[in-house]
Amino acid sequence: MPSLDAIVAVALAGLALSVTPGPSMLYVLSRTVGQSRAAGLASALGLCLGGIILAVATALGLATVFEKTDWLVVALRYTGSAYLAWLGIDMILKARSEAQRVLNVEKVRQKPLFSIIWQGVLVEVLNPKTVLFFALFLPPFIGAGDVQTTGANVTKQLLVLGVLVPLTAIPSDLVVAYMGGSMTKLINREHAMRERMSWVGGLILIAIALNLHL
């Protein structure tokens, strides 16, 4: 099992990324405003299921790499830490411009709830940025930097941490789906709040990246 420190760090990083407005939030908002609250909840469920599927697939693939290639394990750990820090820096650098951007909820075609869930799964699984995120995000948290951590223990750590990432997005997605249009107005009105959230989220990601190698 992963250490408590790793679980807390992954949960914090996931929350920091999920509370800032992005494509997933807009997807849930569009379904909620354009169809119904149930449709928004269905889209959030689809995104979560897709993230879990992708996390499991990535974890199993990375576990094989961890067992067979020591030098690549080290490279992935440092690359992953650098990627996490870059996400934080990018969030801070774009904080002001993103806070000023108006979120426009697109019109959507009415669909049955099962179709919306399936669409959410596909949106998440087929997103190459999400695939890259899991591949680079997970390795730094495995075995607290111990390259000798291999076998079933690595697989279990990768699976637990990988599945934890999409689960951390559930609270923000549920709030977005429940509030719908009110959330859109709030996000567009509170520019200062959005900027502060981006700064806090970015600093959390940078702090986690640095702490991984202390």
The full set of domain ranges for the chain reads 4-211
Of the chain, the percentage scoring pLDDT greater than 70 comes to 87
- Which residue is listed with tokens 């820096």? 89
* CA-based nearest residue to 94, from 197, 178, 204: 197
Name the packing angle between helices 128-137 and 70-93 (round to 10°).
120
pLDDT at residue number 147: 44
Inter-axis angle of helices 4-18 and 191-211, to 10 degrees? 150
Q: Which of 73-82, 148-157, 169-178 has the lowest mean pLDDT?
A: 148-157
Residue type, 91: M
Predicted confidence band at 144 (pLDDT cuts at 50, 70, 90)? very low
Q: Would you say 44 and 201 are in contact if contact means Cβ atoms under 8 Å apart?
A: no
Half-sphere exposure of 192 (CA within 13 A, CB side): 0
**Contact status, residue 24 vs residue 166, Cβ threshold 8 Å:** no
Among residues 95, 85, 89, the alpha carbon closest in space to that of 21 is found at: 95
The per-residue pLDDT for 46 is 92
Per-residue pLDDT of 27-50, as tens digits, reads 888 888 778 888 889 998 999 999
